[in-house]
Structure formats: C-alpha cells, structure tokens
Structure 1
Amino acid sequence: MEKAYLQIVDLYRQEGLKPGRLTQLGYFPKWTVAMGDNGQIGRAFHFDGEHAVYPLRDPDVLLPLQRFVGKSLLALAEELLAETDIQMRAACLAVLNALSHPLNQAGQLKKRGFEPVEFDNLEFINTEDRVVLVGYGALIKETLARCSVIDVCDMRSLSSLRTVSIGRTIEYGPPGIRFHGAAENQTLLADADIVLISGSTLVNGTYRDLIRYARKARVIGMFGPSAQLIPEFLQGGGINYITTSGITDADRFYQVLSNPYAGEGESGTYKYTIRMF
C-alpha cells in the first residue's frame, strides 16, 4: 500500500489539499473505519465474524493508535504501512481510503480523466462469458442477470456458502453459482473473460496474484467499499473497472455503524462506478 500512499501524497500536493486530522478510528462488525476532522472518511473490511479466515485478535490491538487522534491522517497511514497484521492492514487501508475521499469526488475524478457513473448493471458481460467473482457477496444478482452460471472463489468453507435442498431430488445452490476454494484461484482466473475481485483483497494483499492470474481477462474489476482507493493506484495495478461506494455524511455514517439500532442501512453513502476500458 506504500505506492498508494505516495500517489495520494503527490495528488494532495498537486491539488493543494490538506489532510484531515484523525478524530475517530472505529472497529465495527466487518469494518474498520477512519474519520478525519474535515469529513474525510474511509473503511476497510477486516475479516471478522463469519468471514474470520485468519486468527482473530482482540480489536484492542488498535488502542495504541489513540495517540494519533488529532494528528494528520498521513502520519497515521505512514505509521501503518509496514504492518503485516491483518487488523493493522485493515486500519491502514481505512486511513488511505479516508485520504482518497476528497480525491474521489466527481469533479476531482473528471479533472483527472475518470468518468464516474452511478452503479451500473454490468452490461459489458456477454451471456457466453466465463465470469469469476473472488469473494461471495456483492454483484451476485447483477452478474447472474447477465449470464446463467458464474464461478465464485472464496476463502471461507464452502459448506458455509452452499445451500442444499433435500426432497425427491437433492439440489445444491444457490442456483447458477459454482463455489470454489482459494486453491482453485489460479486455474479459474487463467481462463476467465471477466474477473471481479473483492476490495477486501487489498487488506490481505492477495489482489496482486489474482490480477496476475487473470491476465487474459477482458475486464478485471474490483468491487466493494474497501475499493475506495484512488483509481490511479488500482488502474496501475491492472484493474480496469471499479464499483464502490462513497460517503456523503461522515458523522451519520459513523453513527449508524457504531450503533446499528439507531438507524436503517448505511445512511450517508452512495455508489459509483468507474470504467477504464
């Protein structure tokens, strides 16, 4: 993530932007969130709960970072860049995503040659395409609307993802989805026409190998809230399609995550897509 950090620093200098000072660093179900004092906010997936594919550590591991409250988000990002612990890497990505926030506004993106659009319906997928999703969750419905069968790779146990219906016949599901473990990534991606990768792979660092495996694919996309990094970084790594979310009301968003019973849904967010093909 050091390259992303350096690109962000350079863009801040070019645009005359001032990094926010850390006000909150939160650990919530699924998400680590970093918020600055000028509305800069970002989040990253941290593999807990049903997604706990790594040894869990107490979120109190983040408590020493309290010393950065009131200090520049850039200083916190720089501190975290060398960390290898999965929780610390999630915190680092959340901070980098917060720093990316002002750079990902529509006006800024267009100024730099990117054309964001509202969340689209993946019409670039043809019915005959072999489509592989890395990470089971988002884009399933939209992808199945374009082709009848998709392959999904996930690090979790397949028994936790697959459904089974036992009657006169035995049917495995969900319909149209073939599940695979991470050990099959290279074989599946090598033959794929379309590859869509969860932004959570930025946290565990697996995105590099996944992109390399998918070198023959027509579209290599990244999806999910963790993929809020500046598009220059993702494009430079081989991504040519991004679909993620921005945050319009940082305080409200943080409030909903910290107390999910206080409101409905992820208030204060919006979805956007950037195509680079």
Structure 2
Amino acid sequence: MNTPRLEVRAVSKTFTVKLHKIHALKDVSLDLRKGECHAVVGESGSGKSTLGKVILGLLSPDEGMVLFDGKPVPTRRTLPMKRSIQLVQQNPLSTLNPKRTVSASVIQALKIHHPDLNRAEILVRFEEVMGEVRMPMDLADRYPSELSGGQRQRIAIARALACDPEIIVLDEPTSALDVLVQDQLLRLLSELRQRKQLSYVFITHDLGVVRQLADRVSVFQRGEIVETAPTQDLFDNPQTAYCRELLSSVPVVSEEDLKFISNLHAKT
C-alpha cells in the first residue's frame, strides 16, 4: 500500500455563532495516497467544506494537524506548499477574475508559481495546459462571462494544473453542471489523475458521482466521519444506518439512460 501523501490527524474545528458553539469537525482523521481519489461525502453542513479549507490552510484547526509526506503542515502555507495543494471550487467564478481573460487568469498562476519561466516558456506552458483540459486556443482571449459553465470549470482546472500540483481539493466541482457536461468533466478529471498521478480530495453530496470517480469514501455526519471504506465496499455493504439512508437516495440509472448518455458522448 502506498504511503499517504496527505494525512489529517484528529482534527477538530469549532465556530461560535451568536454565542452558540458549532462543532464543524470532531476528531476527524483520514489519509490520501498518491494517485488516489478519496471522496468526502455528506449532507450540507456536515463539515465537508470545512475539512477542505483546513487541508488548504484557509482555516486552522483547534486541535489535530495536517501532514504532507509525513511532515506537519503549518496553517500559513509557503508558496511551494500552496503550489502542491490546489483548489477547484463549485463555482469557477469564485476563482476566475471576471475582468481577466482566460489567458490572463492562467498565465497569472504560472507567473506566481513558476517565477523562473521566461515569457516564451510561459506561453508554451499555457498552451499545454489548455490542451490538457481540452480547451481550444481560440477561447484564450474570452472572459469568463463569455464561456459556458463547463468551459469555465475547465479553465479553473487549467489554472490549478498550471501550478503543477500533487493534490487537488475538488469542492463540489460538478454540482452546478447538467448531467452530460458533468459526465464529461468527470471523465477528464479521471484521465488527468491517471496521466499525471494526481491525488484528489473530492468533496460532494452526490454518491452517484462518487461511484464514478472515487477509490475510497469517507462519509460525514455532523462533523464526524461515520464510515470510511473502498467505494465498491461502501456501495455493496454499508455498515451504518446513515450510509444506508444516503445510498437509498442515489438515483437508479436505467440501461436506456446509460445508452442515451453514451450516444451523446459519441456525438460530442
């Protein structure tokens, strides 16, 4: 078994809202191996996104720690650490500056995280990243508002890839997309992971998406992990009533639906 690239050890986080304490995370531990997709699943408010922010260093835990390659990671991240762990959010407009073109947004990331590259090298790398997310270069001068939702999300992924990360935290990256575009994006993420040996922390409430992409799943309920298992094991034999309840709500896709989606892929 691969040594974990990322470890979350006994992390707790509490917020105070109008004098009431909210336990967003309670003694949470999980790990992520090289090339693995570890899904974090749960209802809204279960602590999934709080965990993602702790991993990224956007929040500091009250207790516990995050380790990268076995070494504790400080909340205040160095530039190399920021480069190593990148974020793709649900809404790409949160990442992309509406006043910057596609090329300006991606090139800015290249300049920040690869200051040793000259202008010619930056342009070459920009073209490579656009190719990796299958975006045509004739969109380079467009603004986010001129792109579709799926195109914007591909540019957000390109911006993350421009940093040459080892880990990407994907926070509900497909939930705002229609079924066909969602499926295309999941296929792209899967291909990128295999080709570049990326590791994903995939935060979602959608177990149908998890089944398509994840190797392992941690299920959250009220800030705690109630079950962690390989994806197929979780679907075949959930150990807790909460997991069984979540699985019962996953839409069943018929053979006709699968054929329809497959035919759409053949035409796109």
Report the TM-score, using the length of structure 2 for normalisation: 0.28
Larger RCO, structure (CA 8 Å, separation 6 or more): 2
